[in-house]
Structures are given as C-alpha cells and as structure tokens.
Amino acid sequence: MTIWLPVGLLAFLVAAFAAPTEAVASLVFYVGVLPAAAASWRILGAFGAAERLALALIAWSGMTLLWGEDDGNRSHRFLLGAACTWVFLACLRHVLTDFAWRRVLVNVLVWAATANAAGVLLFNAPALLDGQRILGWGMTRQPVLGGSVMAMACITALFRSGLMGVRAGGAASPPPVSVAYLAAAAVMAGFVVAMQSRGALVGCAGALVVLAWHVRRWRGLMACVVAIKVLLISAPERLRSLVLGPLLDRGLSHRPEIWARSVELIREKPWFGHGLAANLPISPTGFPHSLYLSLLFYSGVVGLVLFLALAAAVALRLVRAEPGVERVWVAALLANALLAGLTDFGQITKGPGPLWFILWLPVVLALSLPGSPRAAASAPPAAAT
C-alpha cells in the first residue's frame, strides 16, 4: 500500500470535522483520495462476498437513475456520489487491514471530532443559552445528521477510553481508563444534546444499551446514565428547559405526514423505486426522513433487500469476529446508525457526506474486524487497539 492512500484518508477525516462546510470537506476527498485510489485501482475490486453485496447495493442505487425521476437535473451528482461511496469503502477497507493505520485513523477521528464539538459549543455559547439550535462544521453542519456523526465519534471515544472493558472470554484484562478520552466523550455528548436531534439521541441511547449489555464495566456506564438523569432532575428550571424544551416543543416535526406521503409514492413504484434524484414533494428537504422508507422510495424493494442482505452479512462477520472490546464497539456503532435511521436519513450513496461516517464507516469496520476473512492474518488481537 502506498502511503498516499492512508494520508489522503486522514486528510479527509480531519477536513470532515475541521472544514467550514461539507463542500470544502468533499473537495479534500476529490483532491486527496481519488487520485490515490486511481493509482491503486486494483483495491477497488479485490473483496469477498460481503463487500460484493455492498458493491451491488451501491451499483443498484446508481442504476435507478436510468429510469428514475429528476426534476432538478441532479442525476450526474448522484451518480458521482454513488461512485465515490464505493471508492471510499474500498480505500477504507484496504487501509483498515493495516493495524497501525487502523489505530491512527481511530485516534484522528476522535480528536478531530472533539475539536469540532468543543469549538462549536464555545463559539455558540450565547445561542445555546437562548435555547437556539446550533450548527456544526464540515459533516456536522446539518442539525440532524451532524448529531448522528458526532454520536458515532462519541461512542468511539468511549471505546478508546478503556471504560468498556470485556467480559470473561474476551480480552485478557481491561485497559486502564483514560480520563482524556472520557472528557472527549463528554464534550461530544454535549454537542449531540445541543444539536437537539432526537434521532441522534435515540441512536446514542441504543449504542449505550449495546455497550452496557456486553462489557464488564457496565455498572460504570449505567452510573453515567443515572448521573445525567439526576443532574437533569436537580438542575434549575432554566437549565432543564434549555435541554428538554427544544426536544419537546417541536412535536413530531411533520414526520407522520412525510412518512404517509412516502408510502403513497412507494406504492406507485414499489419494485425499482423512483430513483436517487427523485424529490419528495411534501417534505421541506425533499426526502422521506427514514433510512428504510428512503431505501424503498429511491431504490424499491430490490434496494431494501440488498441492504438487508448486507446487514445480515455484516452481522455474520460480527458473530464470527474475534471476541473482544472492538467487536462490541462496532456493534454499538451499527446500533447507533440503524436506530437513528428510523426517523431520518435519505440516499445512502449520497456523498461525500455524513452517512459515510454514520453508516458506511461502521460497516467497513465490521468487515475488517480481526477474525474475519483477510483481517485475521494481518491484525493483532482486538484488545490491543
């Protein structure tokens, strides 16, 4: 592997959290990763059955543009997004099989996201005190998807902190707890709450349940949850209203109406979908606001079946992976994505974009876990990460 590929991915990772907008972060991918991928083009097709399912899903999503609707001449952008999604997956999969680069990418992800969260909270403190909804930078600029991106990074910080430990039968002994990573997780958790995204909070809660179910130090995790609850109950009314008020005042955010209209349109083209460039008229943002309805709306039953097949293949890799803390972490990331997707997400091959970090990054991590094909021969035990 040439050094330019992992370096390009690292640059894109930093830009995803440090760039002022998503467009600037995308430009870093086009300039830093695509040329390196072109120079190593053989890595784009050298994968197993699970990876081929991912390729089939991405290819099918792109193919829907052939018969789908396009009321804004956007097909070329969505076709480029689908192609770049596969390049991102293939490059990331290739780099993550190298244990040293895997560890570097995880650490850079945590600290780039922490800097993003700390900066956004600091610069938007007056708006937060007024109960306003804030926006992040780069891939966290969208209030809903940005919350889920940061939730993914927060879960990763918990993984690196050593708080998770492993039950007997996993790693030999849990690592010491890192205060720095716990502090990073706390900052990012504050960002998720400040974004006022209920989908992100649901995803985070589901991920914590996964962690608490599998790890030895579940009492510590549950103590954190109880402490937060006690603080909210004992906090002054002003603080409670700042945290809980915006989450409750928005009601259902027109989700039932959007979902009902999505189902009506899905029935019109149930098998092959309306295409990636289609627009949902009733939704202010033009998409079904559900991962699962979006799969049906854009790519039909075929697309949903391919996604479920990929999910089953990823679950099988998790089951077969070497027992340890890393497997628990990846399972929590996937729970975050699948639960947050109940109330949001659109085209899964749109990118570069937040779903690369919310959904596709955990998928690639699962496919490259130690103990799975290809990775077992090149990676050391998961507990060393």
Reported pTM: 0.86
Cα separation, 99 vs 215, whole angstroms = 23
In 3D space, the residue among 240, 228, 252, 215 whose CA is nearest the CA of residue 328 turns out to be 215
In 3D space, the residue among 10, 344, 329 whose CA is nearest the CA of residue 147 turns out to be 344
pLDDT of residue 369: 86
Cα separation, 326 vs 383, whole angstroms = 7
pLDDT tens for the 385 residues of the chain, in order: 578 899 999 999 999 999 999 999 999 999 999 998 888 877 776 567 888 899 999 999 999 999 988 877 788 999 999 999 999 999 999 898 888 899 999 999 999 999 999 999 999 888 776 767 778 899 998 878 999 999 999 999 988 887 765 443 344 455 677 889 989 998 998 888 888 778 888 898 888 888 777 665 555 556 566 655 555 454 455 444 545 555 555 556 678 888 888 999 999 999 999 999 888 776 556 789 899 999 999 999 999 999 999 999 999 999 888 777 788 899 999 999 999 999 888 899 998 999 999 999 999 999 888 764 444 444 444 443 4
pLDDT of residue 372: 47
Cα 229 to chain centroid, rounded:
26
| Number of domains present in the structure of the chain | 1
Cα separation, 295 vs 348, whole angstroms = 8
In 3D space, the residue among 32, 46, 31, 42 whose CA is nearest the CA of residue 3 turns out to be 32
pLDDT of residue 271: 95
36 lies in which domain range?
4-384
Cα separation, 113 vs 155, whole angstroms = 11
pLDDT of residue 78: 92
SS3 content of the chain, % helix, strand, coil (to 5): 70, 0, 30
pLDDT of residue 41: 72
Cα separation, 107 vs 139, whole angstroms = 18
pLDDT of residue 383: 40
What is the DSSP code string of 172-185? SSPPPPPHHHHHHH
Cα separation, 260 vs 266, whole angstroms = 10
pLDDT of residue 294: 94
Assigned token pair, 212: 């608490």
* CA-to-CA dists, residue 66 to 153, 192, 275, 286, 323, angstroms: 36, 38, 8, 20, 44
